[in-house]
Structure 1
Amino acid sequence: MTAGGTRLDDDAAAPAVLTRLARDAARRPLLVALDFDGTLAPLVDDPDASRALPAAVDALRALAQVPGVTLALVSGRSLTDLHRRAEVPVGTVLIGSHGGERGRVGEHGLIHEPIQLDPEQDALLVRVGAGLQRAARGRNGVWVQHKPAAAVLHTRLAEPDDAEAATREGLAVAEELGVHAIHGKDVVEVSVLTVTKGTALQQLRADLGAAAVVYAGDDTTDEHAFADLEATDVTVKVGPGGTVARYRVPDPEALAEALAGFAAALA
C-alpha cells in the first residue's frame, strides 16, 4: 500500500498519481527520469537489438515540449551506447554506467561530461577487466563489456549453471579488489567509482532545483533510485518483483501509455 492507501499492484494507480502531479503547478521544476532496458524498451536477449517502444518515444517527445520539465534517462549502458539507441529529444540528460557517466543530447550529438580517473583507478580498472574475463572464459554466452570506469559481466545468453558460476566469480573479483559491484538482471557491473543510480539522480535533482521527481525502472539497480527519492516523489516499478517503489505498471507498454497520459495532462 502507498501512503495514500493505494495498492502497489493497482495498474490504475500510477497514471492517476501522474495526472495529479501534472495538475499541481507548484511542483515545478519537474524531473522525469527513466531507466531504458525493461522500462522504455522491452527486454531482449541481444542488448544490441534493444529499442524503445515507438509509443514511448512519442511520449518523451511530448514531455520535452512542456515548460519546466526536464527529461533524463538513467541506464546501466555506457553513455555513448545509450545515446545511440535512445531516440530522445535535444536537451535530454543522459546518465550511463549506473550513474558513472553523465551527458546531454545536443543539437549536433552527445555532449559528454568526461570521466577523469587517476592512475591508481586506471590500474584498478585493468585488474577488474582481467578478473571478469577470467570469470567469462570457457563459458558460452558469458561476455565482458568495458566502460570508461567499469567492466560488466553479461550472462543473459548463458546456460543457468554457467551464468550462476560466472556471476559468483564476478562478485568475488569485486570483493577481492575491494571495489563496488552492482548485481542486476543477468549482469555484474564492477566499477572503480562508488556511484549508483540513486546518487546520480540526487545530484541531478540538486543541479536542476527540481521540486518533484518521477522515476521509473525495472531492475534491481533501480531500487537505489527508488529508495533515495523523497516520499512525495513518484517512483514506478515496471514489471514483477519486490520493490520499494510506490507504484507499479505491468510492462513497458503500460508505462508508455502512462507517460503519454502524463504529457497530455501537463499540456
Structure 2
Amino acid sequence: MVDAERRPPRIDDHLETVASSLGTDGGLFVGLDFDGTLSPIASTPDEPELAAACRDALAALVAHPGVTVGVVSGRALADLKERVGVEGVVYAGNHGLELEHRGETEVHPAAATHRPHLREVRRELEGRVGDVRGCEVEDKDLTLSVHYRRTPPALVENVRDGVRDVVPEDDPDLRVNEGKAVLEVRPAIDWDKGSAILYLVEHLEGVRRIVYVGDDVTDEDAFDVLDDEDVGVHVGPGHGSAADYRVDSQDEVAPFLSWVADVVDGSS
C-alpha cells in the first residue's frame, strides 16, 4: 500500500539515473495513457485530441527499431486508434479488455460475455442519472463510463448514489471503478491496465524495460506491475502515486518523450 502522502520526485531532478536505466541497446516499451497524458483533460469525452507535440514525440519513438509504443486507455479501442493515429503504435483499449498488436485485435473472452448485461445496465443508468445536469453515460461496448466533470458539485453525490444503486458493491458480474470525474462500470474480472501491459510485453519481442506515463487512478495498476529497472511517471501532483517520478503537467509529457527518444538514440 502506497503512503497517501507520498509524492514522487520530479523527473527533471533524476534524468541521469533514468537515462542509465533506459540504456541505448533497445528493448524498450513505452506505455502511455491518453486523456490527461497525451491529450489535455477536456470537459466532455468527445473533445480530447492528441497534442501535436506528443504526436511528433510518438513518431520519433516509433521510428526507433528498439522501441515499442503502446497507448493504454479506458477509451474503446476504435475511438482510441482514431484519436492517436500514429502508425506503428500498439493499443490497449477499455483498460486492456481490447488489444491490438501485430495487426491483430483481441477481446478478453470473459469481458465479451458481459455485453448483454452491460446494455441493460446502460439503460438503467440513463434512467437513473441521465437527467442529472452535466452527467453523461458513455457506452464503450465492453465497459460503461459515467462522466460527471460538468456536473455541479452539489449534484455529484446524486450521480454516485445512482450508479451504486444500479451496480451495488456486491454485484457478482460488474464492478465500479473511480477515475478523474468518471465512474467506470466494468466486468468483474481480474484484468486492468497493468495486466494489459504485462500481456503486451510478453507477446512483443525483446522487451527488457518499460516506461509508463499516466495521470489517472487507473494508471496506478500499471505502475504497480513495473520492476525496479522500469520507470513509472505520474502526470500531475501525484500524491499517493506508486510512480517513481512525476512531471507536473500534461505540457511536460511531450518534452519528456522527446528526451527518451534522444536517450535511446544515444544523443542525450
Same fold (TM over 0.5): yes
Instruction: Note the residue ranges of structure 1 that are not aligned, 5 or more in a row.
Output: 1-6
Q: Which amino acid aligns with 1:144?
A: V
Amino acid in the other structure paired with 2:19 = T
SS in 2 for 1:221: helix
The 8 Å contact of residues 111 and 187 in structure 2, kept in 1 or not, is answered as no
Tell me which residue corresponds to 2:201.
205
Partner of 2:120: 127
Residue 3 of structure 2: aligned partner: none
* TM-score between both structures, scaled by the size of structure 1: 0.86
1:185 aligns with 2:180: yes
> Does the CA contact (< 8 Å) of 2:9 and 2:244 recur in 1?
no
Cα deviation, 1:185-241, whole Å, max 9, x if unaligned, reads 011111125221111111111112521100000000101110122122100000013
Q: Secondary structure at the match of 1:236?
A: strand
CA distance in 2, matches of 1:256, 1:164: 36
Say whether residues 1:166 and 2:164 are aligned partners: no
Q: How many residues end up aligned between the 2 structures?
A: 254
Distance 1:118 1:65 in 2: 33
Q: Is the alpha carbon distance of 1:135 and 1:246 closer, same or farther for their aligned partners in structure 2, counting shifts above 3 Å? A: farther
Structure 1 pair 64–199 and aligned structure 2 pair: CA distance change class (3 A): same
| TM-score, L = length of structure 2 | 0.86
The one-character-per-residue Cα deviations of 1:99-134 (angstroms, maximum 9, x if unpaired) are 11111496xxxx533455689623322333233223
> Are the aligned partners of 2:8 and 2:238 in contact in 1 as well (CA < 8 Å)?
no
Q: Measure, in 1, the Cα distance between the counterparts of 2:15 and 2:253.
A: 9
Cα RMSD after superposing both structures: 2.3
Q: Which runs of 5+ in 2 are unaligned?
A: 1-6
Aligned-pair CA distance for 1:162: 1.8
Determine the C-alpha separation between the residues in 1 that align with 2:164 and 2:209: 35
Matched-pair identity in %: 35
C-alpha distance in structure 2 between counterparts of 1:119 and 1:20, whole Å = 42
SS at match of 1:204: helix
CA distance in 1, matches of 2:262, 2:245: 20
The within-5 A match list for 1:4-19 is 8-13=8-13, 15-19=15-19
> What's the counterpart of residue 80 of structure 2?
82
- Decide which of 243, 246, 252 is 1:245's aligned counterpart: 243
- Which stretch has the larger CA shift, 96-105 or 145-154? 96-105
Taking structure 1 as reference, are residues 23 and 116 closer, same or farther at Cα in structure 2, changes over 3 Å only?
Answer: closer
Partners of 2:20 and 2:185 in 1: CA distance: 39
Match of 2:216?
A: 219
Q: What amino acid does structure 1 have at the position aligned with 2:127?
A: R
Match of 1:112 in 2: 105
Tell me the distance in 2 between the aligned counterparts of 1:14 and 1:103. 33
